[in-house]
A and B are shown apart, each in its own frame.
Chain A
Amino acid sequence: MGCKCSTTKDILFFQGGFLVTHDVIIIGGGIAGMRSAIECAKAGLNTAIVSKVYPVRSHSVAAQGGINAALKSTDSWSAHMADTVKGSDFLADQDATEVLCKEAAFDITELEKMGAIWSRDENGNVAQRPFGGAGYPRTCYLADRTGHGIVHVLYEQIIKHGVFIYDEWHVVKLAVLDNAARGIIAVELKTGRLHRLRSKAIILATGGYGRVFKTTTNALTSTGDGMALALSAGANLMDMEFVQFHPTVLPRTGILITEGARGEGGYLLNSKGERFMEKYAPKAKELASRDVVSRAEQAEISEGRGVDGCVLLDVRHLGAEKINQRLSQIRELSINFAGIDPVEKPIPVRPGAHYSMGGVMAGIDGQTNITGLYAAGESACISVHGANRLGGNSLLEAVVFGRRAGQATEAFVKSTTLGDFPDGFLSEASFELAGILKREPSEPAYIIRNEMTVAMEEHAGLFRNKTGLEKGLEKIKELKERFKKAGLTDKADGFNSELLAFLELGNMLDVSETILLGALARNESRGAHSRTDFPQRDDVNWLRHTLIRNQSGELHLDYKNVVITKIKPAERKY
């Protein structure tokens, strides 16, 4: 809508849209996308962001609790790294984790220079709160609106640096030829036209896939589009089976209650009023890592000590003043979405799908196995989170690796010439869309979507086993067949939200399949991947990353060794 591209005079409907060239196209206007855009624009590249929602509407804006960095003299990046590697159940690549933790302080300062606002301590320093799985209070925050604060400051900077914004444009295809990125094809919501954007490089920053699960904290837009697009363009996906379930989620809506609530001192209680985490993680208690807390909750609920399928998060002892000051959004959300004022009553919570540890395989500069295609943020898997992410590390990943992908792109763009963009990409995409629009639907897509989210929750949720995963895979295959015959009621060109939701469903089905395939093959329990039939971690056979590649329509599994530099795998206890 606010697109600042060239005139739309000679648009050829569905047969051309327009063809615009940029140096770099960034797909996604969340924290990772905007952070990389700033770097590219500052370097003088002609930079464009394409996003299906206006940048400030991106899912990143919902992040609450904070962002990690070792800032104090009594803390250190190596301690941060040790916590992160342990949290990852030793699956994180240690070279990447080292970059993440070493550069964290730099990036916090960069944000501050841009104008970011933080909560402060008595001395005016950036305040830091304790977070799960961390041995030191190193989570910087802005009340419980950290994501909102960072998103808006980055948005301010992309305006300042004149980044082109194609908002409400939905990318439907990555144009890759001879294993090199050539540009993208996107549908403009307003007109329904297909446009070609040509570029030397693409940075993929499309966020996670939480929406494949029924109960999720993720925005309605987190449908794993980028991962599905990259997979079909020939990129490797990595560690897709690792899905983080957050322990404190409001039951019906899936709305998140930040870990900050426990970081500030909140308790988790069962129906008997016991702080049950004392039993599962005697030292860290409520602040053990998320996989541990979520499984403990599920165990309490399954063993009959839950309250209406939930456990209780109690922050009353913090007092109204602290709650209003540090957790005001949480109070607002609990009142509006659960009808409970946490000042007066404990909040019922349960685990819900929250974060995608896996994603498009990328190196420490965001490079993928496709030349000119970079990935950053939640849609990438650089593997800093391994089998389980620590709270506060993903905003950090988005800023650190967003910046690095931007920098790497600059070098790449300056040393490359623009590749050609054959018409075939467009005709293929328009043929596909025309097919969807034309066919008489055998059933509406939402039925397929609902069955998918239920099946994923049941078979690929907190606890998994071989039979369940096989059933899940069968179900997804069945849904994929049905999807081919499903279609649309809305046949209009412009503002066809049904079409976009349909395309998202296709992406989610693809992503679901990769999650199930990875999980079924991994015969061990590690981090967030918990197999009841293989309850132990198995470093001999499984200290390795899962890769998934699409070879002429077939998905292939492959594996890659974990990079271990400083920290030897050990038993994980909290």
Chain B
Amino acid sequence: MKIKLKIKRSAPLNESEPFFQAFSIDAYEGMTVLEALLKIADEDDPTLSFRKSCRSAICGSCAMTINGHARLACNTQILPEIHKFGEVILEPLSNHAVLKDLMVDLAPFWEKMERVMPYLTPPDAENTAKMTSEDEAKIDKSQQCIMCGSCNSECNALEIDEHYAGPAALAKAWRFIGDTREGFAEKRLDKLSTEHGMWDCVRCGHCTQYCPKNVAPLKAIELLRSRAIKLGITDNHGAKHALSMTNSIKRVGRLDEAAMTFKTLGFLRSLGMIPFGIKMELHGKMPLPLILPQIDGMDEVKAIFKTFEEKDKNKEDSGGKS
């Protein structure tokens, strides 16, 4: 079947404006986007640049934006895309600088990885501690990451702040913090609780949704956060925000956003938020009155909390395998 593949072409160093180029190819049953690209590079346009290696979804080379979202070219088949969208549009990953065509600069990606100290640091250098299958299960998902960058490409927090650690590196961080043999989990969590760290995630869920290996980075981030709170690493905005949110709901059954701002930022710094508060009010979004009445059904809220607190005890044991 003859189909059209539209590819976004960019020159190195953005020497010229990017443009879309259409290639017409014979697609067969089972043909992957990568197979199509290889064919185009052979027969139509050898100047087309893209990364590839394993062609079996395990090396992480070929992530790109396919019909709007980050996917692996080597395990995305052409015909189902055509049936679903009527066309196949290929663009480079988002949130990364384009080097050429479908190749992006991954240097920041690797730097983010390095920043979370991606190696086990056991308490005794010999690392004689053993692990059980249950211990392994806690980090099983995180350790399956192939470092393809799809999650970072789809991440809303990264789009706003390029310095944010990002889901891939945070999933990697959990791989060590959740490892029973790790000796410096607390130190690591301390570091991750600073600016651009794990509390910057806005929980949009895209990372988990678009990860081709089911790593579920958001789950890892949640595990990191709850571990930090359990260890009392709460002297930072993110943790304070989370705690005051929980307290507010526990207390009145809803979010007391004005009070949360005080609790998260402290009194003096939250004064700086007042103009923001006025803006919110203008948009009809400021929670008024400032002293909130309890909602009806507070007993239910309390019951929910109790269940969660109990569940929480067992939660990490499942390693986010929910």
Contacts and interface: CB of A to CB of B under 8 A. Distances in A.
B312 to A, nearest CB: 25
A59 B46 contact: no
B1 to A, nearest CB: 16
Contacts of A498: 41, 46-47
Contacts of B176: 115
A367 B5 CA distance: 49
Interface stretch (B52-60, B217-225, B270-278): B52-60
B119 A219 contact: no
A219 B143 contact: no
Interface stretch (B101-109, B159-167, B238-246, B303-311): B101-109
Given A157-B119, A490-B47, A62 B106 contact: no
Nearest to A115: B120
B314 interface: no
A264 B300 CA distance: 49
Contacts of A488: 46
A494 interface: yes
Nearest to A250: B56
A490 B57 CA distance: 28
Given A2-B110, A145-B144, A148-B146, A62 B59 contact: yes
B126 A113 contact: yes
Instruction: Tell me whether chain B's interface is mostly helix, strand or loop, or mixed.
Output: loop
A124 B130 contact: yes
Contacts of B12: 492, 494-495
Nearest to B127: A113
A2 B99 CA distance: 13
Interface string B19-55: 0000000000110100000100111011111011111
A190 B101 CA distance: 13
Contacts of A115: 119-120, 122, 127, 176, 179, 181
Interface in A486-500: 488-490, 492, 494-495, 497-498
Nearest to B13: A494
Interface residues of B, number: 58
A446 B43 contact: yes
Given A113-B126, A145-B58, A253-B55, A124 B133 contact: yes
A156 B58 contact: no
A567 interface: no
Interface in A113-127: 113-115, 117-120, 124
B30 A337 contact: yes
Interface in A126-152: 145, 147-149, 152
Nearest to B145: A152
Given A62-B54, A117-B136, A124-B132, A492 B47 contact: yes
Contacts of A338: 30
Contact of A220 (B55, B77, B111, B181): B55
Given A148-B146, A490-B47, A446 B42 contact: yes
A333 B147 CA distance: 19
B120 A495 contact: no
Given A489-B47, A495-B99, A497-B41, A159 B60 contact: no
Given A120-B133, A336-B57, A337-B56, A56 B147 contact: yes
Contact of B53 (A53, A117, A152, A494): A53
B139 interface: yes
Contacts of B122: 113, 115
A255 interface: yes
Given A120-B132, A124-B130, 15 more contacts: A1-B106, A57-B51, A57-B53, A59-B53, A112-B127, A115-B120, A117-B131, A120-B133, A159-B119, A219-B53, A333-B56, A492-B47, A494-B12, A495-B49, A495-B100
29 contacts: A2-B107, A53-B51, A53-B53, A57-B59, A59-B54, A59-B59, A61-B58, A113-B122, A113-B128, A114-B119, A114-B127, A117-B136, A119-B136, A120-B132, A120-B133, A124-B130, A124-B133, A159-B113, A190-B99, A220-B38, A252-B30, A253-B56, A333-B57, A336-B57, A336-B77, A495-B12, A495-B100, A495-B103, A498-B41
